[in-house]
Structure 1
Amino acid sequence: MDVPLWAWAAVLAVIVAMLAVDLVAHRSAHVVSVREAAAWSAVWVSLGLGFGAVVWWAYGADAGGEYYAGYLIEKSLAVDNVFVFALIFSYFAVPRQYQHRVLFYGVLGALVFRAIFIAGGAVLIESFAWILYVFGAFLLVTGWRMFRHRNEEMDPSESLVLRIVRRWVPSTDEYHGQKFWVRSAGRWVATPLFLVLVLVETTDIIFAVDSIPAILAVTQEPFLVFTSNAFAILGLRAMYFLLADLVDRFVYLKAGLAAILVFVGVKMLLLEVYKIPIWLSLSVIALCLTVAVVASLRATRGRPGTPGPGSHDADQEAGVEEVEVLRP
């Protein structure tokens, strides 16, 4: 797949432009409503699907199918990210009007780290073809572990990164608007929002370790790997605000994601024996995700959504500037 340099530049320009539009649209701290989140989700999904149509038109059905398969894998795993973000925000009692800022910078970091991982993966595959089998085995193990621990939740207090940051970085227990750093007693100290950002970035890196090998199972073309990741990640913030109150209803999602990881792991291990057609890969991934979501919603029918982190009445007041951090 011969991708000219101008195509890379054009994609990066679109990403930067959309991030700038999103930043301007949310320049003031406010609670993102479900309607606003749904509208932005429609924009991001339309952008991602539209880019896939351009790839299909320019490079053919196989390239288009590979892009859509990678996009669907990343979008599926992003839902799991949403659950972890909800836990992090709840642990730190982050007011809803400050959550978008954290997620915005979290997405910037995720794009950078994924670009690094993709470049590293491409170099490894080019130098050591057998590394694909290592990735395949890794995905099988990851899928099995995800299924075994599907009912367990992350405990932010057990994060090694958080303990290190708290030990070495001076911090305050009070929020100061959307600021990550403030001056106190003549020195700069981190606000709880900075600690939340560190955990969000750490979570993004951990999920990238799973998602990049998974996408490499359907395509090893760096342009498709990066763009499918990028356009899926761009909608992560809107997806969070759309689904945060429904996290308790997706009871079978981890099982579905585990099945997807196992499938792409098997696909990668069989590359030299049988190359599973991209249309079949796309169908299996879509089927696993659809069955998991539909089964979850049917099993939890009538169960009210869990209020999103920081959704108490105090957070809705426009004048909120400082909130006491809740710690277990």
Structure 2
Amino acid sequence: MPDNTPLPHYEDQYLDLMRRIWTQGDERVDRTGVGTRSVFGATMRFSLADDAIPLLTTKRVYWKVAAREMLWFLTGNTNIKPLVEQGVHIWTDWPLDRYRRETGEEISRDAFEARILAEEDFAKAWGDLGPVYGAQWVNWPRYVALGDEGHYVRTEHGINQIAELVKSLTTNPGSRRHIFTGWNVAELDGMALPPCHMTYQFHVAGNKLSGLLFQRSCDLGLGFAFNIFGLSLLTRMLAQQCNLEAHEVVWNGGDVHLYLNHESLVEEQLARTPQGAPKFRIKRKPDSIFDYKIEDFEVEDYQPQAPISAPVAV
């Protein structure tokens, strides 16, 4: 008799983890004060073969927003202005919260962003996030000794971890050191948000490139969809730049949680059935990893179910 059991969908593992956290997770008081249900230690694997991309289908993922964020990281910029100029609002809540606390002004997000766009001094004062992701990825601080007195000064140009990664993948593919990280202990206090997706590692087997992300903290309901797409996008970009074939992404989560005020999101998403297999293509090969544009990326056959909105815990 033929086996008519349907094959697992790549998204099933995500929904299984969501269900386990919501029904069995440890209920905790978290930094935001909202409260979460959490498990410690989780792993998921997604194929990138044949142009596959692990976009969630049980809700719409605005993948262009995630792609614009990744491109912004690679510039090293830490001000929200370039994002706001592109209609990307995912980082606005943190500087907006700081502005409200420090000035006492209950400004709306739209009004705050309007001032970011219109007033250069305001953007410099209130739009910067501190040395977050991109600053560490492409300009990790480097210090040199000054004179014979043991004083050290920071150099103008730091270490570009991404450029070094491309070099190591190209010249020494068998290395176990294809790594970059945003977890700079000395600068954590200056960041609007310490890196959640903190350490990336890559592995070459034959001509196939796989990427792994260790995420210390993951909001499974809202953040994960962007995190796994970002990992997949970056792995594809690196594969193209290094003349490799994208193979697989592996996601490791430390504290993986769902916020208690996301009950409606969880229940609605768990009631849905994943469907379809979108494809992701890069339409040209730029001169370097830093020269990609949003127009270079294309997603096909993506037919997700309706978006599910939920509040972001700041």
* Shared fold (TM-score, shorter chain, > 0.5): no
More helix by share: 1
- TM-score normalised over the length of structure 2: 0.29
- TM-score normalised over the length of structure 1: 0.28
Q: Per chain length, whose mean CA-contact separation is higher, i.e. which structure has more relative contact order (CA < 8 Å, sep 6+)? A: 1
More strand by share: 2
